[in-house]
Amino acid sequence: MGEETGRVRRWNIGMPITENPPRPDVEVVDSRLGAALYNPFLWAGEKRGVAELRRELLAGARGAVLEIGAGTGLNLPHYPEGLDRLVLVEPASRMGGHIDLDRAPAGVPARLERAPAEYLPFGDASFDTIVSTLVLCTVADPERAVSEVARVLKPGGRLLFLEHVRAEGGWRRAMQRRSVRAWAGFAAGCRCDRETVATIEAQMRIESIERDSWKGMPAIVKPLVWGSAAPRT
């Protein structure tokens, strides 16, 4: 089901969780223009440190890997060799249309599926590593997405995250508060003020976390946090 609003398509995607689906709807913005402009928009930030951060973060990936909200596939060239398999999920077909699976490391079987993070079409304890980069800002229901991450991670598995989050205070926080709706309209539903670390921590154990600016990007999407989290035992 898709509803066209100008150049933006809002998809309501029903996804089976297992063979016994409730098939709930998740709203996803799928814009042709947004998908085409995504990599150019991020270019300066990638050059000024995020590409390197992706590489450092993904060096921790092991075994069977799931990436949620894979976008245009910017992480693909940064995965290490020797993974058992790599599954990318991306609910927006126009973003996913830019993904080139040939950019995955040689010898790693990679595939793309259309699914929202809130309803991952995989069984419990299916993956050793889950990757979320710049995604929990945009998903419709971040709490539900993190609970799905915890569900499909194996015991001993790990979430690797890189996200922009709510500023702690000052003029940046004030600007986020004022512009949150306008930014979401511009940036395909991205919320610049999410407390994503708290959302992860409510359901998982944070193992490591770092924080810095997102250089080369608008002030409203700073700071960046990255690190790893494990399912609670």
Ligand X SMILES: C[S@@+](CC[C@H](N)C(=O)[O-])C[C@H]1O[C@@H](n2cnc3c(N)ncnc32)[C@H](O)[C@@H]1O
Q: Would you tell me which residues interact with ligand X (CB under 6 A)?
A: 26, 28, 68-71, 74-75, 90-92, 95, 116-118, 133-135, 138-140, 190
Nearest to 67 by CA among 135, 151, 144, 139: 135
Q: Which CB atom, from 143 or from 171, has the smaller least distance to ligand X?
A: 143
Q: How far is the C-alpha of 11 from the C-alpha of 92, rounded, in Å?
A: 8
Q: Which CB atom, from 83 or from 131, has the smaller least distance to ligand X?
A: 131
Backbone phi and psi for residue 119, each to the nearest 5 degrees, phi listed first: -140, 80
Q: Which CB atom, from 99 or from 108, has the smaller least distance to ligand X?
A: 99
Q: Which CB atom, from 61 or from 170, has the smaller least distance to ligand X?
A: 61
CB 194 within 8 A of CB 176: no
Task: Compute the least distance from the CB of residue 164 to ligand X, in Å.
Answer: 9
Q: Which CB atom, from 133 or from 174, has the smaller least distance to ligand X?
A: 133
CA dihedral 73, 158, 110, 147 (to 10 degrees): -80
Q: Among all residues, whose Cβ is closest to ligand X? A: 71
Task: Compute the least distance from the CB of residue 225 to ligand X, in Å.
Answer: 14
Instruction: List all residues 6 or more positions away from 229 whose beta carbon is below 8 Å from its beta carbon.
Output: 158, 159, 161, 200, 201, 204, 205, 206, 207
Backbone phi and psi for residue 226, each to the nearest 5 degrees, phi listed first: -150, 155
CB 142 within 8 A of CB 114: no
Nearest to 116 by CA among 208, 26, 182: 26
Task: Compute the least distance from the CB of residue 134 to ligand X, in Å.
Answer: 4
Task: Compute the least distance from the CB of residue 7 to ligand X, in Å.
Answer: 15
Q: Which CB atom, from 220 or from 233, has the smaller least distance to ligand X?
A: 220
Task: Compute the least distance from the CB of residue 233 to ligand X, in Å.
Answer: 26
Helix (H) / strand (E) element for 224: namely strand 224-231
Task: Compute the least distance from the CB of residue 188 to ligand X, in Å.
Answer: 6
Structure tokens at 81: 């060799």
